[in-house]
Amino acid sequence: MAGEAVRRPEGLPGRYEVLGVLGSGGMGRVLHARDGVLGREVAIKVLADHCAADDEYVRRFLTEARAAASINHPNVVQIYEFGREAGCTYLVMEYVDGVSLKRAMAASGRYSERRAAELVGEACKALGAAHERGVVHRDVKPDNMMLTVSGVFKLVDLGLAKRLADHQDQTATGRTLGTPHYISPEQILGSGVVDHRADIYSLGASLYCLATGAVPFDGTSGAHIMARHLNDALPDPRRLAPELSPDFCRVVFRAMEKDPARRHASTGELGAELEAVRAAAPAGPDHVRVEPADPTMTILQTPSGAAFCPAFAAPCPPADLDRMESALAIAIGPLARVLVGRESRHARTRPALVEALAAHIGDAAERRRFLRSCGLEESGASSASASGTASSSRSGAAPAASAALDPEIMGAVTRHLADRIGPLARVIVRREAAAGGPLSALVERLAAHVPAGGEREGFLKDAARLT
């Protein structure tokens, strides 16, 4: 849309000559302009009227713009000026003459492993500078990664507030925002602190897309896509790009762990792994044209859609994993798919996997039913495992510490928490109850997982009625 005629926004400083429109959306427009004082081209983001009329939104916009303006890095689009005049809220930034990675892929095909690792490595450097300043991007994606005409990588839209748009490309949960195809699970849940690890998840999703030409999770709506981020195991990227190395897949899987604690600790750590991948990858063209899939190629994938890299080979056949998932789902719901995918990447034997999955079931009877359905009671080791689990429940040991409290109260607490944060409540209650202590202490720990404000207060009031 560059060059499109546009009416000059009232209140925009007179030094800027508007040349056209670079883009537009629910938040407003991005204008192409010339700074008459400094003689340089700039991009100016102007908020839409409905956003500019919201004082809280404008306050956040300007606060975050101020934080982003403090970042000085060659891979980050620089912010020159921002302000609010005569109802016009605007932000002036560096004009990037180039193309986004998303558009480059549309024109030339997906990126090679070597080039994808290199580009996301550049993004790691840019985000590292932002994270050092306490700025979290929250909307990392190939659309916001650009290459200038001279080949310089630029990360755009850094740290700027976003608002729910009318289409599925944007979403907001509380005050955490992002794009459904690349959003982290903690942003979807809107609970706890969304920190730099949310950007690491989105970098992993972007890396997946750049190397395969497809998003990790797709769906019929934004809500459907987000549910898959929460509940589905990550599909093996080699379904779409069979030449990808195990090390590359390992980096993607780790960056996109649903639990932030399991991801890379920093963009520096992620960048170091990507540099090792880049150095080991064969040289070749930057882009790979997509070829038709080979119907004879075998992928390690469960019937439910949970796929695993050979680097994370499961300790039992895919059909057995699918049966475990179905049995576990009866006890804990849709999180079963996530847990089977995660635990199967760490367990070395089938009994160890079954025991790890059983530990996520808070109810002792349901846990025994699950163990029986997996055939564990039919062998000596399995029977010992089942009886050990039951005895630990009676003694108040960690696997079922919640049994030390009244089961009916625990069930009610879980329901109240699920009303605020969804199906993850069951797993969180089981985990926090394992720490022991009185019900009041458990409730306080659980409340930390609920967004601050009315929802948290509501949970505390409902839980207080149980004591």
- Residues with catalytic function: 139
Contact of 212 with 288, CB cutoff 8 Å: no
Q: Tokens in use for 3? A: 């060059």
Contacts of 453 (CB under 8 A, 6+ apart): none
Contact of 69 with 79, CB cutoff 8 Å: yes
Q: How far apart are CA 442 and CA 421, in angstroms?
A: 16
HEC per residue, 103-138 = HHHHHHCEECHHHHHHHHHHHHHHHHHHHHCCCCCC
Least Cα distance to 201 among 221, 185, 180, 177 occurs for 185
Q: Please give the C-alpha separations between residue 156 and each of 138, 190, 202, in angstroms, as whole numbers.
A: 12, 24, 14
Q: φ, ψ for residue 330 (rounded to 5)?
A: -60, -35
Q: How far apart are CA 157 and CA 96, in angstroms?
A: 12
* DSSP-assigned letters across all residues of 239-267: GT-TT--HHHHHHHHHHT-SSGGGS-SSH
Q: Please give the C-alpha separations between residue 193 and each of 162, 164, 190, 197, 270, in angstroms, as whole numbers.
A: 18, 20, 8, 10, 21
Cα 375 to its chain centre, rounded Å, is 36
Q: φ, ψ for residue 36 (rounded to 5)?
A: -70, -20
Cα 45 to its chain centre, rounded Å, is 26
Contact of 325 with 302, CB cutoff 8 Å: yes
Number of H helices, E strands in the chain: 18, 12
Burial class (CB in 10 A: 0-12, 13-18, 19+), 466: middle
Q: Tokens in use for 49? A: 């009227």
Least Cα distance to 249 among 305, 285, 208 occurs for 208
